[in-house]
Amino acid sequence: MDDDITVEGAVTPEPETAAPETATPETAAPDYRALAADPKAAARATVAVLISRVIVAGLGWVGSVIVARSLSPEGWGQFSFVFALLGLMSVVTDLGVGRVVLARLMDDDAEEIGRTASSFLALRTVLGLVGYVLAVGYVVVLQYPGEVIAATALGGLVVVFATPSHALSVLFQARHRLLLVAVIESLGQGLQLVLTILAAVFAPVLLIFVLPAVLNEAFRAVGKGLAVRRRSVGLRPSRHIDVHRWGAYLREAIPLAIGFALTIAMLKIDVLMLSLLDTFDAVGLYSIGYKFSDMMDTIALAAVAPVSTLLVAAWPHETATFRARSRSAGLYFATFGAVAVAGFWPSAEPLVRLLYGERFAPGSDAARLLVLGAAIMSLILLGIFLLASAGMQRHYPLVALFGLALNIGLNVALIPRLSYNGSAIATVVTFGVTVIMLWVVIERSMPMSGLLAVSPILVLAVVTAAVTVGATLLVDAAPSLWFLISVVAALLVAACGFLLSKRDSRSNSPAPAPAPDPEVAP
């Protein structure tokens, strides 16, 4: 820790009144582990992150509409490919290291905290540069068009800035000081949207549309870097960078890194394969569906964090509570996905046409399937966090490896025949098989059974399918009422999910502890 840092709240006695032998020593550093365990602080941080992610996703979605309408179909496909490739680089730039150093940021020694922070930031910066080189090298080696290589070289700076920026977010997470992070990230996304609008008006070309994302990430990195130096945060990085710590961080992160990398690859590999086996026009049509499913993934990721905290708090001494919370969360996640499917499926084509224009309407079927895939993915995310909450995440990488292999095989078989629709089918089948395998593994690994409310979820799935089919037929018969029909369909499914959740909660809530027998008077 820098020498000029003092402990906030320390009191120095006045020399003329305090005797030397009774001088008060410097106040001890705060108990950061206790701060991290504060449920109220965690709740406030969770709300801030959830609101921020919804704002960021919404503004990003508006920006994508502007870009898609401004570029040609091939240009939009190239834009989508570049950022899908950069998203895949998180396999290299994250490696699960943030989860490893989180505990080290709760140390009692301020100097140790500072050295951990600086070493972690330096490691993530190096990983960001490695990710940038890999992304640019990929498009150069495979001889992509010149405009794609140029866009990747410029857009790849997103990885360079975002990787240390995410590391700074981990530092704030250790103190539940995420409100400031949420504000900075929301402002950065607002800046990106303004610059995107200016690009659409004055220079609607691929390279210019890539630039706002780079400036957004640069703004976030600088803003968090300035904020983390505030002494009240207790996380000011040291001027010393201990490179020798990197090996320990990476070794501890290996189990998490493998599962995380395979999951990201399973999620992103379809766009890359579509770019190799088909055209950029197909990539553009396919990526429209991802704009809707990405919004669902953002909400699911934000919601799973507090659920994970509750599961950790119940493990391993309150297994009945752990089971009840798992079942309740599973039903809520399933209801969220079912509502999205019932609301989006009947109105996908008119909604895509309204937002993105007539030329993207052929991608509506793929968008429907990707939203269905996102609904399934929410249960996969819950399963992963459940295993991590019990310290059993080592069981997941084999499932993810099988899912990745299945996704690649299905894409190779289906893209030449069905183009982007084949890729969407491969995604849904892959996620469907993966969620079944994952929860079978959970059922066999955990010491208690029934962690997923299978029967109610199956009932909800049947109701959702029936409502969706009926709503789709009604939209075909009365196209002008597509919005009203979709809203009614979503409300019906939401009501069904709510009732099933209440019923399951009543029948599976932990039994109260038996009251002690009253003492018998002699």
Tell whether the model's pLDDT for residue 341 goes beyond 60.
yes
Burial 474-490 (b: 16+ CB within 10 A, else e): bbeeeeeebeebbebbb
95 dihedral zone (left: phi>0; alpha: psi -120 to 50; beta) = left
pLDDT score for 302: 73
Q: pLDDT band at 242, cuts 50/70/90?
A: low
Cβ neighbours of residue 284 under 8 Å, at least 6 residues apart?
A: 68, 73, 74, 75, 76, 77, 78, 79, 80, 360
pLDDT score for 43: 63
Q: pLDDT band at 389, cuts 50/70/90?
A: confident
pLDDT score for 304: 76
How many C-beta atoms lie closer than 10 Å to residue 259's C-beta?
23
pLDDT score for 482: 95
**Tokens standing for residue 351:** 């909604």
Dump pLDDT digits (tens) for 453-493.
999 999 999 999 999 999 999 999 999 999 999 999 999 99
Measured CA to CA, the distance from residue 90 to residue 165 in angstroms comes to 13
Q: Any idea what the Cα angle at residue 187 is, between residues 62 and 239, rounded to 5°? A: 135
Cβ neighbours of residue 276 under 8 Å, at least 6 residues apart?
A: 142
Tell whether the model's pLDDT for residue 14 goes beyond 70.
no
**Angstrom distances, CA of residue 258 to CA of 39, 88, 401:** 30, 14, 9
Classify residue 267 by burial, with Cβ atoms within 10 Å: 0-12, 13-18, 19+: buried
pLDDT score for 54: 81
Tell whether the model's pLDDT for residue 163 goes beyond 90.
no
pLDDT score for 167: 79
Of 157, 167, 186, 55, give the one whose Cα is nearest residue 118. Answer: 167
Contact yes or no for 485/475 (Cβ under 8 A): yes
Q: C-alpha dihedral over 177, 178, 179, 183, to 10 degrees?
A: 130
Tell whether the model's pLDDT for residue 52 goes beyond 90.
no
3-state secondary structure 157-176: HHHHHHHHHHHHHHHHHCCC
**Tokens standing for residue 250:** 């990476």
Helices (H) and strands (E) in the chain, counts: 18, 0
416 HSE (CA, 13 A, CB side): 5
Of 384, 370, 394, 391, give the one whose Cα is nearest residue 438. Answer: 384
Measured CA to CA, the distance from residue 131 to residue 164 in angstroms comes to 12
- On the question of a cis peptide bond just before residue 316, with omega within 30 degrees of 0, the verdict is yes
Q: DSSP 3-state assignment of 336? A: helix
Q: C-alpha dihedral over 150, 412, 270, 137, to 10 degrees?
A: -30
Which alpha helices (DSSP H) does 360-396 contain, by range? 364-389
pLDDT score for 209: 95
Contact yes or no for 478/312 (Cβ under 8 A): no
Tell whether the model's pLDDT for residue 370 goes beyond 90.
yes
Measured CA to CA, the distance from residue 316 to residue 74 in angstroms comes to 53
Measured CA to CA, the distance from residue 105 to residue 175 in angstroms comes to 9
Measured CA to CA, the distance from residue 458 to residue 84 in angstroms comes to 33
Measured CA to CA, the distance from residue 353 to residue 317 in angstroms comes to 53
Which amino acid, residue 299? I
Of 173, 162, 180, give the one whose Cα is nearest residue 226. Answer: 180
Q: pLDDT band at 11, cuts 50/70/90?
A: very low
The residue to which tokens 């803003």 are assigned: 223
pLDDT score for 469: 96
pLDDT score for 21: 42
* Mean predicted lDDT score pLDDT of the chain: 81
Q: What is the DSSP letter of 485?
A: H
Q: pLDDT band at 107, cuts 50/70/90?
A: low
Task: Kindly report the pTM of this predicted structure.
Answer: 0.74
Tell me the average pLDDT across 218-247. 74
pLDDT score for 430: 95
**Bigger pLDDT: 67 vs 181:** 67
**Tokens standing for residue 287:** 């990526």
Report phi then psi at 143, rounded to 5. 55, 55
The answer to which of 286-290, 312-316, 354-358, 516-520 has the lowest mean pLDDT is 516-520
Tell me the average pLDDT across 415-433. 94
The answer to which of 100-114, 386-400, 456-470 has the lowest mean pLDDT is 100-114
The residue to which tokens 């098989």 are assigned: 433
Tell whether the model's pLDDT for residue 250 goes beyond 90.
no
Measured CA to CA, the distance from residue 288 to residue 77 in angstroms comes to 10
The answer to which of 93-97, 157-161, 171-175 has the lowest mean pLDDT is 93-97
Of 478, 477, 475, 456, give the one whose Cα is nearest residue 467. Answer: 475
Tell whether the model's pLDDT for residue 379 goes beyond 80.
yes
